[in-house]
Amino acid sequence: MSMKDVTRRYFISPATCWKIVDQIPLKQPFRQLPEVLCFDEFKATQNDDNGLAFVYADGLTHDILDILESRKQADLISYFLKFPHPARLKVKAIVMDMNASYSGLLQLFPNAQLIIDGFHLIQQLSRAFNQLRIKEMKGLKKLKGDNGKV
């Protein structure tokens, strides 16, 4: 459920919702990280980042480790630098979509291998094929309109 839905359902402001989220203690407060990290974003609030928030999870247990209001690269780098270097060295893989700002985080995890999330890859291919299909159908419609036949 998005934060927008939560705020509507419980009649609270997005700021109040974030205050509540901020009170949730981190499962791993800047001491350790799992071997596999999953990065993504979701529609959260009307912040200056198109309303999208950053979420990361343990790739093996699927536990959400934290939610950040910003998904800007500088903010994410600042956040992950709070973890000690040995903890970041233990990360072996990062699973993410093809968001360009997330790839900049790889420098913080020198032993991690980048894995593109299959869901997002298929989603991109599906969109590309759909755009091509629509373009071709419009072209056929124009041909049919010119002389009445295809």
CATH code for the domain of 39: 3.30.420
Q: Which residue range(s) make up the domain with 134? A: 118-150
Handedness of CA 131, 125, 5, 71 (dihedral sign): negative
Helices (H), the chain: 3-10, 14-23, 73-80, 85-89, 100-103, 118-147
Q: Are residues 66 and 132 in the same domain?
A: no
Q: Are residues 87 and 140 in the same domain?
A: no
Token pair of 150 as six digits? 């295809």
Q: Are residues 130 and 112 in the same domain?
A: no
> How would you write the pLDDT of the chain (150 residues) with one tens digit per residue?
677 888 888 888 888 888 877 777 655 567 789 999 998 888 776 656 567 888 899 989 988 888 888 888 898 999 999 999 999 999 999 988 877 677 788 899 999 998 877 666 676 678 788 888 888 888 888 887 766 565
Q: Are residues 143 and 70 in the same domain?
A: no
Q: Are residues 65 and 10 in the same domain?
A: yes
CA–CA separation, 13 and 10 (whole Å): 9
Domain count, the chain: 2
Q: Are residues 44 and 81 in the same domain?
A: yes
Q: Are residues 104 and 144 in the same domain?
A: no
**Secondary structure (DSSP) of 17-45:** HHHHHHHSPPSS-SS---SEEEEEEEE--
